[in-house]
Amino acid sequence: MGENDKKKKNAKSAYLRALELVISRSLIKYKIYSKQLLHIGGTELAIRKIVTHPAEILEKSCKAVVSFDKKLTSILNDMYDTMIEFDGVGLAAPQIGLDARIAIVDIDDEFGTIEMINPRIIETSGEQTDPEGCLSFPGLYGEVTRPNFVKIEAFDRKGREYTLEAEGFLARAIQHEIDHLDGILFTTKVSRFLEDDELKGVEIE
């Protein structure tokens, strides 16, 4: 398969993933909005403001979480609402201005929403090169090479430790968010920035 054929295949796969996500996200937003209307007084969703580059917090190594309490639960819920509102597939705490090792990922697969508190990567293998975007860099996209497989250890909202293995796009999204917690921006790993006509199907993290 030639280089052009590979690019076309990758673009088609990315476009199909994006189409599925748009449909899924639209359904989720409808469900959330419907639930909101049931609240007396029309309680608003907890949508946080997205912090964009060059905010200093985006390039800091975040502090570990030590309390697994109601405040953490509230932050995770807000992060999910915010991620859905801005059509992302992942979000890290510094992207909403919080200095904490908290991140979530949801690519609408069988894993559902993955909540990662104090995550660390313990194993990687393989290689993949695909387009990436970031909510903290509106309108900017580039090709990034990452391991195709990742194994992590993290804690859930109740303080229970777990191990997770992922590959492909999920592995990419997880690594992108953990990078945020270490103050590493995807732009430092871009091999080539993408032009407007190459952006079909690129998902945002």
**Residue 204: inside a domain:** no
Task: Point out the catalytic residue in the list 177, 195, 198, 205.
Answer: 177
- On the question of pLDDT at 150 being above 70, the answer is yes
- pLDDT for 15 beyond 90: no
Percent of the chain with pLDDT strictly greater than 90 = 72
Does residue 205 fall inside a structural domain?
A: no
Question: What global pTM score does this model have?
Answer: 0.79
Closest by alpha carbon to 145, among 193, 181, 189? 189
Q: How far apart are CA 75 and CA 71, in angstroms?
A: 6
pLDDT digits (tens, 9 = 90+) for 169-178: 999 999 999 9
pLDDT digits (tens, 9 = 90+) for 151-170: 999 999 999 999 999 999 99
- Flag whether 92 is in a domain: yes
Which of 135, 136, 164, 131 has the alpha carbon at shortest distance from 146?
131
Residues 131 and 199: their CA atoms lie apart, in Å, by 8
Pick 123 or 18 by higher pLDDT.
123
Q: How confident is the model at residue 35 (pLDDT cuts 50, 70, 90)?
A: very low
Domain with 25, as residue range(s), is 3-198
**CATH (domain of 134):** 3.90.45.10
pLDDT for position 46: 85
- Give the separation between CA 190 and CA 137, rounded to whole angstroms: 13
In angstroms, rounded to a whole number, what is the distance separating the alpha carbons of residues 135 and 57? 14
Q: Identify whether 203 is part of a domain.
A: no
Residue 202 in this model has a pLDDT that exceeds 70: no
CB contact set of 54 (below 8 Å; sequence gap of 6+) = none
pLDDT of 39 > 80? The answer is no
For 56, the token pair is: 């200093």
Residues 95-119: tens digit of each pLDDT: 999 999 999 999 999 999 999 999 9
Whether 177 is a known active-site residue: answer yes
Q: What would the mean pLDDT of 182-191 be, rounded to a whole number?
A: 97
Provide the pLDDT for residue 141. 95
Using CA atoms, how far apart are residues 36 and 86, in angstroms rounded to an integer?
17
End-to-end CA distance of the chain: 30
Contacting residues for 126 by C-beta, under 8 A, at least 6 apart? 147, 148, 149, 167
The yes-or-no verdict on residue 23 having pLDDT over 90 is no
3-state secondary structure of 136: coil
Number of structural domains, the chain? 1
Rg (CA), the chain: 17
Residue 104 lies in a domain: yes
Q: Is the peptide bond before 54 cis (omega within 30 degrees of 0)?
A: yes
